[in-house]
Amino acid sequence: ELGYRFDEKPGHEIKARFLQDFKTVVIEKPAEVAQFLGELETSALLYVRIRSLTMGRTAAEFRLEGGADAMKEALAGCRLPPAPTPTPTPKRVS
């Protein structure tokens, strides 16, 4: 299980695939990739939490200085779908 949060923004729990090298995580859903990258571009800190049935819980923080420029260069040839817009919660009428 993979959870992450940028800065003090709300966190996300996503399904991710861990490769056999135990170092690489793949976010497979294009909308989740777009959301991750959209928040990465404007953030200064990334907090990641991984829960494993066999290895327990691991957490790490990453400072993201220069991340926006590096991301733009790395994704120059990629087409990504727009990040999903949050669904507003309905207001209760009294």
Q: What is the per-residue pLDDT for 56?
A: 83
Give pTM, 2 decimals.
0.71
Q: What is the per-residue pLDDT for 62?
A: 92
CA atoms 69, 43, 88, 27: torsion sign: positive
pLDDT at residue 33 is higher than 80: yes
Q: What is the per-residue pLDDT for 34?
A: 85
Instruction: Give the C-alpha separation, 49 to 60, whole Å.
Output: 7
**Does residue 33 sit in helix, strand or coil?**
helix
Task: Name the residue with higher pLDDT: 51 or 70.
Answer: 51
Q: What is the per-residue pLDDT for 86?
A: 64
CB distance 39 to 6 below 8 Å: yes
